[in-house]
Amino acid sequence: MRRLDLHIREGAAYETALKAIRAADPIDYIVVPLERQDRRLVSVFLRDGTRQTLVDNLQDCLKDEKEWRISLVPIEATAPAIPEDKDLKTKRASQRKMALREEIYQDVQADAKLDRDFLIFVVLSTIVAAIGLHSNSVAGVIGAMVIAPLLGPILGFSLGAALGDRKLLFGAAKTLGVGVALALGCAVLISFMIPVDFSSRELMSRAEVRLDGMVLAIAAGAAAALSLTRGANATLVGVMVAAALLPPGAAVGLFLGTGEFALASRAGLLLSLNVASLVLSALVVFRLRGIRPRTWLEKKGADRAVAVNMALSVLLLLIAIALILVLDLGAAVSIG
């Protein structure tokens, strides 16, 4: 349940907003006069499944108005219990666990931001992952996954494409690129400091490019996007995303630092394959869950962005799959 607070001036737009609120069939609403005589605070207790429609309608009718703001406040519980409207129960059942577009956007935008904390998390997770790979420590690799700094920019890139938001799209792409480059650089430096153990199964498995890795990345991206749209905590899903990104990225750096360019290329192929799988699956989930811009013009731009990014992701996946088949065939021939 959410409470919507609307701060607005009195006037024609205020009356239109009240009509939109009444049409949304809220549980209850109150109008509170503020210290400034021409200002009003409208608090609306919303039913599940009607939030996004009302927020969109309010933004449409207030687009030419000045000095207004919509705030959403989560409500943990209320008494007495709110009776369920049987006529709307089925219609709203599928929307009950759907977070607002604005909530999703603000959460993703914050996590996709390139700042000092993100860079520190990347460095720390890379150190933990590289040491775990070198020492064949499953616990160390899992520890790096828990930090999961690359989840934010991956989801930010997919959401930016789904909404046609260039700022979020390119900002998340920049954050992801810087994060991956920093992880590779840290892993290369670590390879100069410690003798890399090529007998480590955890390390060498990251040079094995297999289709099951792609399936893991697709499932991880879809689960992360689904958790986000439901308003759930995506931290645990971040472990799955990290499994597809951090260990291969650290392995690329370790191989490069030791001059094993063939192994580095295979680990790099695995990393690229996983990134494309994550972006594609998250983008598909956002579209299936109806995460789209509010206006018609923005929707047209978002449709183009989605089509381009999906086409590029699918193309990259097809190229990667073809390379996997070629590598497997070459290995089979050499063994034979």
- pLDDT tens sequence across 60-116: 888 888 888 888 887 877 777 776 655 555 444 444 567 778 888 888 888 888 999
Tell me the pLDDT tens digit for each residue of 105-137.
Answer: 888 888 888 999 999 988 988 888 888 888 887
For residue 170 the two structure tokens come to 């390119």
Judge whether 303 lies within some domain: yes
Please check whether residue 147 is in contact with residue 128, taking contact to mean a CB–CB distance below 8 angstroms.
Answer: yes
Record the pTM: 0.75
* Same-domain pairing of 14 and 132: no
Judge whether 95 lies within some domain: no
* Same-domain pairing of 192 and 265: yes
Phi and psi at residue 112, to the nearest 5°: -95, 5
pLDDT at 254: 92
Q: How many domains does the chain have?
A: 2
* Same-domain pairing of 71 and 105: no
Is the model's pLDDT at 292 over the cut of 70?
Answer: yes
Half-sphere exposure of 162 (CA within 13 A, CB side): 26
* Same-domain pairing of 54 and 186: no
* Same-domain pairing of 161 and 237: yes
Calculate mean pLDDT across residues 253-270: 88
Is the model's pLDDT at 244 over the cut of 80?
Answer: no
* Same-domain pairing of 234 and 140: yes
* Same-domain pairing of 124 and 19: no
Integer Rg of the chain from CA? 24
With bands split at pLDDT 50, 70 and 90, how would you rate the model's confidence at 189? very high
Which CATH number goes with the domain that contains 27?
3.30.70.260
Instruction: Please give the residue range of the domain that contains residue 55.
Output: 2-78
pLDDT at 190: 92
For residue 291 the two structure tokens come to 């995460």
Calculate mean pLDDT across residues 303-318: 71
For residue 182 the two structure tokens come to 């920093």
* Same-domain pairing of 32 and 122: no
pLDDT at 282: 84
* Same-domain pairing of 170 and 315: yes
Judge whether 199 lies within some domain: yes
* Same-domain pairing of 171 and 267: yes
With bands split at pLDDT 50, 70 and 90, how would you rate the model's confidence at 28? confident
